[in-house]
Amino acid sequence: MKLATWNVNSLKVRLPHVLDWLRAEPVDVLCLQETKLRDEYFPQAALAELGYESVFAGQPTYNGVAILARRETVGAAASVVVGNPLFPDEQKRLLSADVGGLRVVCAYFPNGQSVGSDKYVYKLHWIDALAEWLAQPSPLPVVLAGDFNIAPDDRDVHDPQAWAGQVLCSEPERERFAKLVALGFVDAFRLFEQPPKCFSWWDYRQLAFRRNAGLRIDHILVPQALAPRVHACRIDREPRKREQPSDHAPVIAEIGPDEPR
C-alpha cells in the first residue's frame, strides 16, 4: 500500500490541490495536517467521489487532522481515536485509525514558536505524552505519520549553521525524535539512499522554495519489523510548484503486503 502525509495549511484553500494530487497519485492512505476546518465543513463528499473515506478531527482556524482511506484497497477505517488518551488537549493534533492492517497515527506536532517559550514547553510535553502512549502495546503495527515540526538531523536542514539550536532543530527536540524512534520505529525516508538536500517544507518568504532553502520536518515512522516491507519513500515536490501552494510537500511511503508474493 502507499501511505502519505501532507500538511495542507488549510484544506479549504487546498482542496483542489489535494483532489488533483490524489487523482495523479492515488495513495491508499493519506494523513492530512492543518486542515483548519470545523468538522461540519470537512469536504467529505468531494473526497468520497474520489473513493476516499475520511475520518477527521478539526477546529476553527488552527490545527486539524484527518486520515483518508481508499475504500476499494484498504477498506473502512476502524478504531478511530481522537487525541492522546494520556494527554487531554483542546488542540486537534492527533488522530489514529486502523486501516489496511496498520494502526495509522496522524500527528501534527506543535510548532514550538521559539526555544524556551511556553509553546516550546508544550511541544516537549506533547511529544513526551505521545511517546508514552505509543509505548503501549498495539494489536496492529503502528505507523506514525505527520508534520513532526522537527528536523531530526543536520542533513534535514538547508543551512544547519543558521538553524543550529533554533526551534525545529534544537537538541531537546531532536532527542525527542530519537526517543520516538527508539520505541521501535525507523524513519522510512532514511531506509533509502536519498539525494542531498531533500526537504518537505519551505518558507513562503524570500523565494525559499526556488532556493531550496527548506527543512525536512514531515516524516513517516514505521515499525522496525516492517522495514523490509517498505519498498520506497520519497517527497513529492510537485504540489509545492503550483499556484497558491501549501508550504509543505507530501511524503509517500510504499509498504508491501504481509505475505511475500
Residue 206 binding DNA, by CB under 7 A: yes
Distance CA 78, CA 139 (A): 12
Active site residue 108: yes
Amino acid identity, position 219: H
Burial degree of 110 (CB within 10 A; 0-12, 13-18, 19+): buried
Instruction: List binders of DNA among 71-90 (CB under 7 A).
Output: none
Q: Does 120 engage in binding with DNA (CB under 7 A)?
A: no
Residue carrying C-alpha cell 506536532: 109
- List 28, 98, 147, 247, catalytic entry: 147
Closest contact distance (angstroms) between CB of 259 and DNA is: 38
Cβ atoms within 10 Å of 143's Cβ, excluding its own: 26
Choosing from 134, 215, 222, 233, the residue that interacts with DNA (CB under 7 A) is 215
What the block records as the C-alpha cell of 220 is 513517516
Task: State which H helix or E strand residue 31 sits in.
Answer: strand 29-33
Q: Which of 99, 145, 168, 235 binds DNA (CB under 7 A)?
A: 168
Residue in 28, 52, 98, 108 annotated catalytic: 108
Beta bridge partner(s), residue 223 = 185
Query: In the complex, which residues of this chain contact DNA (CB under 7 A)?
Result: 7, 9-10, 12-13, 34, 36, 60-62, 110-111, 113-114, 119, 147, 149, 167-168, 201, 203-206, 215, 217, 244, 247
List active site positions. Answer: 108, 147
